[in-house]
Amino acid sequence: MQLETVTNRISSLLRTASDLVYDPLGYQISNLQIENESLEYAACTFELNGLKIKHRLSKITPTKAGQFVTIWKRNEAGITAPFTDQDEFDLLIISVNDAGRSGQFIFPKAILVQHKIITANGIAGKRGIRIYAPWDVAVNKQAQKTQQWLAPYFLQIDINGNTDLTRAEKLIGNGIK
């Protein structure tokens, strides 16, 4: 995927989130940096009033319910590795879009440790995960279990201006130490 296309895609995603969520709550995006290695997942980092954010866009997969997203970095040896609890970020935000619906999973680092998504305490994290927005039909017990723990961290973004800003404030506030 070309950098210009991805840059436009990231700009569009973040502009929508800014207009409908961040700006009304007084959050400003700054220090936006695109991560070239995960362009197809719109990977970038930015700050929201000093909170350090890692952002990804999930992808629809044709044969499985839910969406998939990669969440890795390159280690000192140049090998892909899961994020760790020592990496400098406060929130992992995963944008989700499907058939005119959109939202964001807003995860504080602690919940990612709890669910073994990022490496901590000698337990290896994951390089990618399957996520299920509330509108996805989880077709098996594992998918249902995953959807259940994901649900409290999901913010539906309504383009008509009906986004639950109280919920958004709580989710973003979870990243404050």
Q: Which domains occur in the chain, in start order? A: 3-173 (3.40.1350.140)
Dihedral of CA atoms 165, 168, 169, 173 in degrees, nearest 10, equals: 180
**Predicted model pTM:** 0.93
Whether residue 53 has pLDDT greater than 90: yes
Per-residue model confidence (pLDDT) at position 13: 80
Whether residue 174 has pLDDT greater than 70: yes
Whether residue 177 has pLDDT greater than 70: no
Of 58, 51, 63, 60, the C-alpha closest to 109 is 51
Band of residue 30 on the pLDDT scale cut at 50, 70, 90: very high
Averaged pLDDT, 1-18:
73
Whether residue 2 has pLDDT greater than 80: no
Per-residue model confidence (pLDDT) at position 5: 66
Distance, first Cα to last Cα, the chain: 36
Per-residue model confidence (pLDDT) at position 38: 80
Whether residue 10 has pLDDT greater than 80: no
**What is the radius of gyration, based on Cα positions, of the chain?**
15
